[in-house]
A and B are shown apart, each in its own frame.
Chain A
Amino acid sequence: MLLIAIISVLIIGGFAAWLAESRNRDWPKWVSLFTILLSSLLVIPLFSLEPITMQLGATTSQWLLVYEVPWIPRFGISFLFALDGLSLLMVALTIFLGLVALASSWNEIDHQPGFFQFNLMWTLAGVTGVFVSLDLFLFFFFWEIMLIPMYFLIAIWGYERKAYASMKFFLFTQISGLFMLLSILALAFAAKAITGNFTFNYFDLVGLNLDPDIAWWLMLGFFIAFVVKLPGFPFHTWLPDAHTQAPTAASVLLAGILLKTGAYGLIRFTVPLFPQAAMEIAQVAMLLGAIGVVYGAVLAFAQDDFKRLVAYSSVSHMGFVLIGIFAWRELTLQGSVMQMVAHGLSTAALFMIAGALQHRLHTRDVSEMGGLWKDMPRMGAIAMFFIIASLGMPGLGNFVGEFLVLLGAFQVNVPITIFASLGLIVAAIYSLIAMQRVFLGTPIANRNLRDFDSREVSTMVLMMLGLVYLGIHPQPVFDMVEPSLNSLYELTGPATEWVGALR
């Protein structure tokens, strides 16, 4: 069973890395590398699976893998793992960014390297579990698993305000997760009231004929948990602190994949479980997304801390994802998924650059930088590439995502789309200012800095190629997630009805 194997490899690899520290302080990272390479070997066969058709509510959907073993039969809880194109894409992104995170922290961690690698591997295991669990109890279990090691990564290996930042991260996620837990339990009870049995099984819960009022409250529990994670305005304020204080590897994972679990949850659970209720909140959600796009960009412009700046840019970019999900059109959903992947790559790279700068300059304050291109032309050129990708340059992945979202959302709500489009302008402002303040201009001191070495360049080049590929040949990604998304429309009724109801 491949999915369990992947998660187990990561969990066991984490323990092994921890234990390896007592032998040699250099071993844990090699154990981690081996673990990630092994799990990526296990991911490869997933791409060639034959689709299975499953009943989902009133419709059918295409899955690549479904695997179920009872866990607590009395309450209808089971180990239900399932994989479709969307999950597979997210799992692949997770493992890839895990490798990137490992590369970015290769020489950075001197303190407790074994426990660090343990947390890194467990975060990956938790995220992978989130993307493949279709039993809500199991899903919640992994949702918590990915939180705690991330908390440790920030709290132990973070920077000057790590205690504050890690606590804030923990509280936001935990409190919002509590809402989701309540919703999950209430949903199981509601299922019992309707069908006579407790169940946490996604395939049984979708299409359940819930009382609209109850459905609305349950939907809200899921919605809040996922929007906090995304993060959507106004629940975003944990992110700048967490990102700024986290070590580079944690920032890469946080921005690259942890935020995507929020978007994934909205697509996978919030809307399909409660289509009518989600429809009622769609306008508000799109508006929050649009505000997030502009607000995040304006705040990014005002920051002096480079990591904070990138963090706010994430708020801005994930706003597009939120709009795309709640516009609920094939165009916008495909755009959102594309944006998730592209943002994962571009922001992970920007955090690596931020980390590399901090490692060399011992500051994140951009007012103490400037003219660094002179010393580090390779890093400068690579940073320029990712800055440009992140401001939405056509030909790169982020543009495809944002354009599809806006193109489709325009058909659903014109004023909100116009407002969100302002994000294209403000994104250019903060991005180019950041480039100027860090790399261009006159060098303020003669510092003789070390440019990117071949390890860093090759990691970066991988991500650059990824973004170019998504920009000029995105179709394989669209094709991969299309079956998953298609079944979702059928669940919620034809898109036109949706739009009609929205207006």
Chain B
Amino acid sequence: MYDLIWVIPLAPLVSFVILFATQGNLGKTQVAYLGVGSVGLSALIVVAIAYSWLNSGSSEPYTYAVTSWINVAGFNPGISFYLDGLALTMMLVITGVGFLIHLYASLFMEEDGDYSRFFAYMNLFVSAMLILVLADNMLLLYVGWEGVGLCSYLLVGFWYEDPANGAAARKAFIVTRIGDTAMALGLFLLFMHLGTLHIQPMMQAAKQTWATGDTIPTIAALLLLGGAVGKSAQLPLQTWLPDAMAGPTPVSALIHAATMVTAGVYLIARTHELYLLAPLAQSTVAVVGLATLLIAAFTALTQTDIKRILAYSTISQIGYMFLALGVGAWASGIFHLMTHAFFKALLFLAAGAVIYSLHHEHDIFKMGGLRTKLPVAFWSFLIGSAALTALPLTSGFFSKDEILLAAFDVNPWLWAGGLLGAFLTSIYSFRLGFVVFFGQINTEPSAPAGARMAVPLIILCGLSIIGGWFHVPVDAVFPTIVDSHHDQTIAIITPLVPILGVLLAYLLFLRKSLDLSTLLESLVGVQLRKFFFSHWGMDWAYDKIFVVPYTRIARMNQADVVDMAYEGIANITSIFHYLTSFTQTGQLRWYAFTMVGGLIFILAIIVGII
């Protein structure tokens, strides 16, 4: 069974090539069968592999070399895949959730003139993402890594006629490329010292070469973290993700919630042995995660665009995954990655269903009362929000609880910060739910969407509820945590806080019995809301510090200052030409005069008078 592994990334790639080559000449039905079917085929093979993997009871990694690739001076990355519990989990998420989103999109995008181009990009994305998680060497991983970034660019800017979408797409690509470049430097450094980019041998060599806390592994781990924060939208490179919501909603669900943005988490988990050698870098991961999750949660509280709220929520939840990695709860981080993929894809697709029925309305305060009109979307939102909030027995509860308790074991402050984040999460999630689905109807919805959109929602609802009982098969991949010293009180407080948050949201946004308007309308309140709404002024600052100066300097030098030197030489030559041409008067006596004058001058030199 395992030797079919090469089909998994190839099926969507072949579909991409067909769709690209036919350039929109296929019928919509054919496109849908090809686009959705290819991902479905991959998903089937993944499920079959997972079935035999879990049944075999062995957790021995499996390597499959497809073909050689580069072999120069001992640098020999091949196109080969490495299957272990981590890769398997990622593949299940990518193809499983990916298939559901493709199915949903086949209806959601039906009215679009560029149906074929959409599925071409989506298929290419799935293929690149699968290569990313299957790669057995860093260079192949980097191929997938850049490939998903490219697809993100293409899909955010899918509706290219609006320049704002193009700007959002470029921002997504360029900001993540800053991180990617840091990551590339990290790879150069690792290769220089370890002589290989094959992940497993590299990790072994790292353990043998370096002691814990050495400088080189710390720098390398921090550089890789640079790549991870770019792709996973963490501090300080998270500003691209909210803008990326310009893409079609299935794209937001697949790329900007369930899969691509978790690539950074995967990268750190995959190279966790390096981070174990670099405690400073690992602590940085935790701090980055905590800071990001708080900043994003505060921002989410103030947003009014349904997709932007979810985008900030995604940033915040990935912050939890980083926190988990940073405190060494590797498996919990991956667990949260999986449950988050379920419930956040669900929330985005449900938001898409709302937007679909409200004719592209995004402002939550123009919605309202949709509970009875759009029941599937409502229940999806309810279940998704409950899981996001980590209400007990939902999938998000199990994963987030594990992370917070593990954080407490490392540092109670990390736990406290995470808990504050969880409190904020419950408020913004239920604010969203209450405002959109309760109260009076502000915009009349058209009929709810058909089965191809409803079925994925219902399946994801199920996964969001029961996902917490899945056991992520990564025990053999990561070291287990031995040191656990939190007491019972902490274990009880942790799940209670989100419930308090939901209650508060209920009082504020549904019962409206609590009135904070005096507080919110005060000078400090207004300024603070503005500050949060602007995502803590980060876009503004980056614009002033980087974008504007770069553009200005480049434009100033449009004519290339270096060329002025050559122009100068040319001008001096012409001046001499102009001056000497003065002597050419055409008068015989002038020529005779200068000849005699010159003769006398030369004679004078020879005789020695001058």
User: Is B84 at the interface (CB under 8 A from chain A)?
Assistant: no
Segment at the B interface, from A140-148, A195-203, A349-357, A372-380: A372-380
The minimal Cβ–Cβ distance linking A218 to chain B, given in whole angstroms, is: 25
User: Is A410 at the interface (CB under 8 A from chain B)?
Assistant: yes
Alpha-carbon separation in the docked complex, A407 to B167 (Å): 32
Q: 1/0 per position for A447-485, CB-CB distance to B under 8 A?
A: 000000000000000000000000011110010000000
The residue that A301 contacts in the complex, of B20, B184, B554, with Cβ under 8 A, is B554
Q: 1/0 per position for B54-77, CB-CB distance to A under 8 A?
A: 000000000000011111110100
Indicate if the CB atoms of B23 and A377 lie closer than 8 Å: yes
Indicate if the CB atoms of B554 and A440 lie closer than 8 Å: no
Alpha-carbon separation in the docked complex, A439 to B169 (Å): 14
Residues of B within 8 A of A378 (CB): 23
User: Is B178 at the interface (CB under 8 A from chain A)?
Assistant: yes
Interface majority SS on A: helix, strand, loop or mixed? Answer: helix
Indicate if the CB atoms of B562 and A233 lie closer than 8 Å: yes
The residue that A400 contacts in the complex, of B70, B79, B161, with Cβ under 8 A, is B70
User: Is A394 at the interface (CB under 8 A from chain B)?
Assistant: yes
Alpha-carbon separation in the docked complex, A234 to B563 (Å): 9
Contacts A237-B560, A395-B143 given; does A425 touch B174 at CB 8 Å = yes
Indicate if the CB atoms of A334 and B554 lie closer than 8 Å: no
User: Is B142 at the interface (CB under 8 A from chain A)?
Assistant: yes
User: Is A16 at the interface (CB under 8 A from chain B)?
Assistant: no
Interface majority SS on B: helix, strand, loop or mixed? Answer: helix
User: Is B418 at the interface (CB under 8 A from chain A)?
Assistant: no
The minimal Cβ–Cβ distance linking A409 to chain B, given in whole angstroms, is: 9
Contacts A331-B73, A475-B69 given; does A299 touch B554 at CB 8 Å = yes
The residue that A475 contacts in the complex, of B68, B189, B563, with Cβ under 8 A, is B68
The minimal Cβ–Cβ distance linking B139 to chain A, given in whole angstroms, is: 7
User: Is B471 at the interface (CB under 8 A from chain A)?
Assistant: no
Residues of B within 8 A of A475 (CB): 68-71
Indicate if the CB atoms of B72 and A478 lie closer than 8 Å: yes
The residue that B71 contacts in the complex, of A371, A395, A418, A478, with Cβ under 8 A, is A478
Alpha-carbon separation in the docked complex, A417 to B186 (Å): 12
User: Is A310 at the interface (CB under 8 A from chain B)?
Assistant: no
Indicate if the CB atoms of B24 and A377 lie closer than 8 Å: yes
User: Is A302 at the interface (CB under 8 A from chain B)?
Assistant: yes
Task: List A392-445 residues whose CB lies under 8 Å from chain B.
Answer: 393-395, 399-400, 403-404, 406-408, 410-411, 417-418, 421-422, 424-425, 428-429, 432-433, 436, 439-443
User: Is A388 at the interface (CB under 8 A from chain B)?
Assistant: yes
Q: 1/0 per position for A227-250, CB-CB distance to B under 8 A?
A: 000000110110010000000000
User: Is B467 at the interface (CB under 8 A from chain A)?
Assistant: no
The minimal Cβ–Cβ distance linking B64 to chain A, given in whole angstroms, is: 17
Residues of B within 8 A of A384 (CB): 154
Alpha-carbon separation in the docked complex, A475 to B67 (Å): 11
Residues of A within 8 A of B188 (CB): 406-407, 410, 417
**Residues of B within 8 A of A (CB-CB), count:** 54
User: Is A381 at the interface (CB under 8 A from chain B)?
Assistant: yes
Indicate if the CB atoms of B181 and A441 lie closer than 8 Å: no
Residues of B within 8 A of A168 (CB): 566
Task: List B168-191 residues whose CB lies under 8 Å from chain A.
Answer: 169-170, 173-174, 177-178, 180-181, 184-185, 187-189, 191
Contacts A371-B161, A407-B188, A411-B192 given; does A394 touch B70 at CB 8 Å = no
Whose C-beta in chain A lies nearest to the C-beta of B553?
A298
Indicate if the CB atoms of B68 and A298 lie closer than 8 Å: no
Whose C-beta in chain A lies nearest to the C-beta of B114?
A377
User: Is B352 at the interface (CB under 8 A from chain A)?
Assistant: no
Indicate if the CB atoms of B23 and A374 lie closer than 8 Å: no
User: Is A330 at the interface (CB under 8 A from chain B)?
Assistant: yes
Residues of B within 8 A of A443 (CB): 161
Indicate if the CB atoms of A441 and B68 lie closer than 8 Å: no
Contacts A373-B160, A404-B72, A442-B161 given; does A422 touch B181 at CB 8 Å = yes
Indicate if the CB atoms of B562 and A237 lie closer than 8 Å: yes
The minimal Cβ–Cβ distance linking A138 to chain B, given in whole angstroms, is: 31
Indicate if the CB atoms of A302 and B150 lie closer than 8 Å: no
User: Is A329 at the interface (CB under 8 A from chain B)?
Assistant: yes
Indicate if the CB atoms of B79 and A394 lie closer than 8 Å: no
Indicate if the CB atoms of B562 and A236 lie closer than 8 Å: yes
The minimal Cβ–Cβ distance linking B122 to chain A, given in whole angstroms, is: 16
The residue that A388 contacts in the complex, of B23, B73, B150, B177, with Cβ under 8 A, is B150
The minimal Cβ–Cβ distance linking A233 to chain B, given in whole angstroms, is: 7
Alpha-carbon separation in the docked complex, A381 to B116 (Å): 13
Indicate if the CB atoms of B70 and A474 lie closer than 8 Å: yes
Indicate if the CB atoms of A418 and B23 lie closer than 8 Å: no
Whose C-beta in chain B lies nearest to the C-beta of A295?
B562
Indicate if the CB atoms of A299 and B560 lie closer than 8 Å: yes
Contacts A299-B554, A407-B191, A418-B185 given; does A441 touch B150 at CB 8 Å = no
Contacts A407-B188, A432-B170 given; does A472 touch B181 at CB 8 Å = no
Residues of B within 8 A of A234 (CB): 562, 565
User: Is A363 at the interface (CB under 8 A from chain B)?
Assistant: no
User: Is B298 at the interface (CB under 8 A from chain A)?
Assistant: no
Task: List A277-291 residues whose CB lies under 8 Å from chain B.
Answer: none
Alpha-carbon separation in the docked complex, A418 to B188 (Å): 10
Residues of A within 8 A of B147 (CB): 393-395
User: Is A174 at the interface (CB under 8 A from chain B)?
Assistant: no
User: Is B485 at the interface (CB under 8 A from chain A)?
Assistant: no
Indicate if the CB atoms of B73 and A329 lie closer than 8 Å: yes
User: Is B577 at the interface (CB under 8 A from chain A)?
Assistant: no
User: Is B555 at the interface (CB under 8 A from chain A)?
Assistant: yes
User: Is A358 at the interface (CB under 8 A from chain B)?
Assistant: no
Alpha-carbon separation in the docked complex, A182 to B69 (Å): 44
Indicate if the CB atoms of A424 and B163 lie closer than 8 Å: no
Indicate if the CB atoms of A472 and B73 lie closer than 8 Å: no
Between A233, A302, A374, A436, the greatest number of chain B beta carbons within 10 A of the residue's beta carbon is seen for A302
Indicate if the CB atoms of A441 and B160 lie closer than 8 Å: yes
Indicate if the CB atoms of A436 and B146 lie closer than 8 Å: no
User: Is A40 at the interface (CB under 8 A from chain B)?
Assistant: no
Contacts A/B (CB < 8 Å), 23 sampled: A237-B566, A240-B560, A298-B550, A298-B553, A302-B558, A330-B72, A388-B150, A394-B145, A403-B139, A407-B75, A410-B191, A424-B180, A428-B173, A429-B174, A429-B550, A432-B169, A436-B163, A440-B160, A440-B166, A442-B161, A443-B161, A472-B79, A475-B70
Please name the 5 residue pairs, one residue from A and one from B, whose CB atoms are nearest each other, closest first: A410-B188, A330-B73, A394-B143, A237-B563, A302-B554
Q: A424-B180, A424-B184 are in contact. List 14 more A-B contacts (CB 8 A).
A: A234-B562, A299-B558, A330-B72, A331-B72, A331-B75, A381-B20, A384-B154, A404-B70, A429-B170, A432-B174, A440-B161, A441-B166, A474-B69, A478-B70
